[in-house]
Structure 1
């Protein structure tokens, strides 16, 4: 029994349960401000001053530690009740842990697979531990045959890839054979050896994907083919000399394709998707030569220059996976970023590379070494989702989220210093990963726009040369033909491909 100033404690009910006790021993409470013992007609009382919000909890503490006469068996009875209560609490907690999904690792906030979900994590529809794990909520869309890893449903890794060919059916024909007009005009031409110009008019436009186009690239060296990927889980190969002509499609993933890119000669390309797989394809045959399950969603994948059997994948788990397609093993994991890595760009013939991240930093690495040689960060610096190397000069540029393109030097003596005297602005790219690029001669830089424009700047003066209205939706993918002097491909959220010349 306890008497708390200002509150009653139902002393009659406590006396009935305990019986006749002459002396009551109470535990010392750290929050009490007085240990004064008061004698009354009915017994002894300890006067305590307790915070009102703590009263109910302290009352339970008194009851749990109440000690009586061992002869009356009150101590054993009390211990038994406490033990049974704790056992019931543990059983209840076990049931709740089964029903409730894990909160995840707080250090991996952007990782949908193992990342932090917090108190908003979903709970099981069952209220009992005997709930059948095969039963699902009516509102949940579950893919048949989907495996479960760490309690999270993932796409079937055994998905059967396929490809359809729509080109010339001749036995002696190869998709890499140059058209006759290319053989005449570009027989001895190397990309970047002539002057390139800004396009003026629309050559053709066509529906390429059912939803947004996620990446776009001309075939290296010749450029007579165009590779595109989209949110419709497809990768497609188009003819440039015969616009709107589909050469081959690749049913490659079970979810939206995030990025795809050619190797040095274009005979292979790598694709990555939100189904957490990365795959290497034979461009002409349409068969998968390598695929790997990833631990996180990839943002982009690319071949390592001059090493056709090695690829790098930028992950949302703030890591870069360096993979060997011959052995299937991981060569190196680069993991010094704090948030999702969005882009990888190589420098110095592939001996170094840049990583861009949502943590608003750029990092420079020596290949195969998991330690950055340079951190590029500033309190005012915004995230740069895409970085591009200048084709002829020792510079690289970053598409900053504050609606400008920043320039950095990669000369040996400059130590990747920012060029504060040069930047490109006028377009809108905030909140979007907007693609950009250079003409092969390096004299012009161009970029997409969130309002559907394409902007062209002069590299020397940083002034806008031309802006072209392409679409009413975001233009997020742009690429320049390696040989044609003014041919640019553009695509975005409307699923169309636009060819300007």
Structure 2
């Protein structure tokens, strides 16, 4: 009514006057306000409050409520505030269980102490029989309260799992008994044993001595040979170690019809070899690997299972220049440094040895107590003091020749490491392993930047980089040669797969011709295979060795000359 009295219109003045008169007529019957009362106080008394009766915030009786979940209080409350009940109306639809205070998901658990054995006893009894003692009953009270299947508890008289276990049948065998503690010598107690029991007696002194002798012989027989390095020696097989200008055999010859000193460019066109022009004999067992002398390739290094490393002439008389003795087990791999003055030999005697090529002196020895399967110098000229070796314990270890210490370990493979190949201007290297994977590493970073593994992939024990540094040819154990890109993504080239030979179980190496028109590989039957690089077509194959043809190398400066090495101990030169 009061708001109607104050109502005003924004229409014309005449209409406003009429409204005012009507308002005066409407309020004419109202009684006057009592003395001392204002319109504002009357408005407050007429307001309707729909909220429940709570203490307003501004009143003096309000006190700060403390939530019961709070762990830390930042003021000093009074006792009635600290222990005040929860404020607010209860939820009308909650059950008694939901309204109860919970300290775990399924309800409220009272803190109590019980021994582990008692707890486990009641838990197993409840699981097996369906009843257990009521945990709320005090231990001093009689054991009458049970939870679960109380009828079963009454029938079984509350027996637990341990009390009601079935008794074992008595052993029919008779025991030796002497429980008299006064009988010091004859007292048996629980150690009497059975009457018909045979006990193993300790051997007497003579028998013990014989057993020790037998064990010592067995240990010597099964023990590995002494791990101490063999005394190194060398034999020079040629009389003229230096020429008339006092140059050693390491200097490339200049009268062979091929420029070996400044021959940086490969031959323009290569041709298939047709005939065997020479055979090097000297090794008594199978050959593991052959390596050209760097750049000139006028010498060839071979390592064999007869524990020897030999250096051969490729031109003129093709003699054996020098033999290096230093391993007492088969030599697996060898590698020249960039200038050829030194080389590494890795043997099954767990040693990698650094040799001086000219003098035959063993400069230093390196071992990680594991078999090195491959060893490679870092091809960079400023890192010639570093070399990496793949070992049988799944690691690639980098040694420093100057200090003889390990610089870095690359330990991510799941099997023995077979090959190490430097790519991308020697900033990275690719490794293959018995775990049937291929990994790419940044130099000096022990985490692989690329991991290539596929269910269809097989172990790849031989890898060769193409002359143009773009492709990696990998000898796969499923009798195929697979090609990977050596740039950026290292993706397998599915279109280029070379097959037709049998190499399963052997690490037969392969090589490119200098003009990249051919790809050559050995074979388990002793054959040599030549494929066309562009079409992957098999051009030629011939019987090169009587046993496995383990290594094939195309001469980098000749158009059609090829060296092959086999497990028959021979190295053959083809043209």
Name the TM-score, length of structure 1 as normaliser: 0.72
Alignment of 1:15-414 (within 5 A): 47=166, 78=189, 131=212, 135-137=216-218, 140=221, 153-167=224-238, 168-170=240-242, 172-182=246-256, 185-186=259-260, 188-242=262-316, 244-306=318-380, 307-412=383-488
- How far the C-alpha of 1:223 sits from its partner, in A, is 1.1
Partner SS for 1:155: coil
Structure 2 regions of 5+ residues with no counterpart?
1-120, 130-154, 157-162, 194-198
| Superposition map of 1:442-457 within 5 A | 442-457=516-531
- Once residues 72 and 188 of structure 1 are traced to their aligned partners in structure 2, the CA distance between those partners, rounded to angstroms, is 102
Q: Equivalents in 1 of 2:241, 2:261: separation in Å? A: 25
Tell me how far apart the structure 2 counterparts of residues 268 and 399 of structure 1 sit (CA, whole Å): 28
For 1:131, what is the secondary structure of its paired residue? helix
Specify the SS of the correspondent of 2:385.
strand
Separation (CA, whole Å) in 2 of partners of 1:158 and 1:201: 42
Whether contact under 8 Å (2:285, 2:569) holds in the other structure is yes
CA deviation vs aligned residue, 1:100-155 (integer Å, no higher than 9, x gap): xxxxxxxxxxxxxxxxxxxxxxxxxx9779826994249928xxxxxxxxxx5443
Distance 2:515 2:228 in 1: 43
- Tell whether 2:509 aligns with 1:421: no
* SS class of match (1:285): coil
Deviates further, 231-240 or 438-447: 438-447
**Secondary structure in structure 2 of the residue aligned to 1:455:** strand
C-alpha distance in 1, partners of 2:534/2:406?
42
User: Aligned-pair RMSD on alpha carbons?
Assistant: 3.7
Rounded to whole Å, the distance in 2 between the matches of 1:213 and 1:423 is 27
Mapped to 2, the partners of 1:431 and 1:340 lie a distance apart of 15
Q: For 1:156-202, what per-residue CA distance to the aligned partner results, in whole angstroms no more than 9, with x for missing partners?
A: 42421011112214471401222242476445422525322221111
Shift of 1:262: 1.1
3-state SS of 1:140 partner: helix
CA distance in 2, matches of 1:472, 1:170: 37
Greater fraction of residues in strand:
1
Contact 1:191–1:482 under 8 Å retained in 2 = no
TM-score (norm 2): 0.63
- SS of corresponding position for 1:427: coil
CA distance in 1, matches of 2:260, 2:570: 28
2:390/2:417 contact within 8 Å kept: yes
For residues 402 and 465 of structure 1, what CA distance do their matches in structure 2 show?
21
Cα pair 2:241 2:248 within 8 Å, conserved? no
CA gap 1:449/1:191 in 2 versus in 1, 3 angstroms: farther
Q: Which residue of 2 aligns with 1:146?
A: none
2:353–2:362 contact (8 Å) kept in structure 1: yes
Query: Could you list the runs of 5+ residues in structure 1 that have no partner in the other structure?
Result: 1-26, 38-43, 51-57, 83-87, 96-125, 142-151
| Residues 190 and 154 of structure 1, relative CA distance in 2, 3 Å threshold | same
State how far apart, in whole Å, the 2-side matches of 1:129 and 1:319 are: 44
For residues 45 and 309 of structure 1, what CA distance do their matches in structure 2 show?
A: 78
| Contact 1:231-1:257 within 8 A present in 2 as well | yes
Q: Give CA-to-partner distance per residue, 1:441-470, whole Å, 9 cap, x none.
A: 222111000111111111111111211211
**Rounded Cα–Cα distance in structure 2 between residues aligned with 1:404 and 1:46:** 67
8 Å Cα contact 1:208-1:497 kept in structure 2 = no
Question: C-alpha separation between the residues in 1 aligned to 2:261 and 2:183?
Answer: 107
Q: 1:365 to 1:138 in 2, by over 3 A?
A: closer
Task: Please give the alpha-carbon distance, in whole angstroms, between the structure 1 residues aligned to 2:182 and 2:228.
Answer: 68
The whole-number CA distance in structure 2 between the counterparts of 1:59 and 1:300 is 65
**For residues 182 and 219 of structure 2, what CA distance do their matches in structure 1 show?**
60
How far the C-alpha of 1:416 sits from its partner, in A, is: 1.1
Per-residue deviation at 1:430? 0.6
Q: Residue 255 of structure 2 aligns to a residue in which SS?
A: helix
Q: Is the Cα contact below 8 Å between 1:162 and 1:286 reproduced in 2?
A: yes
Alpha-carbon distance between aligned partners in 1 of 2:451 and 2:209, rounded to the nearest angstrom: 51
Residue 351 of structure 1: how far off its partner (Å):
1.2
Counting matched residue pairs gives 400
Q: State the alpha-carbon separation in 2 of the partners of residues 270 and 241 from structure 1.
A: 24
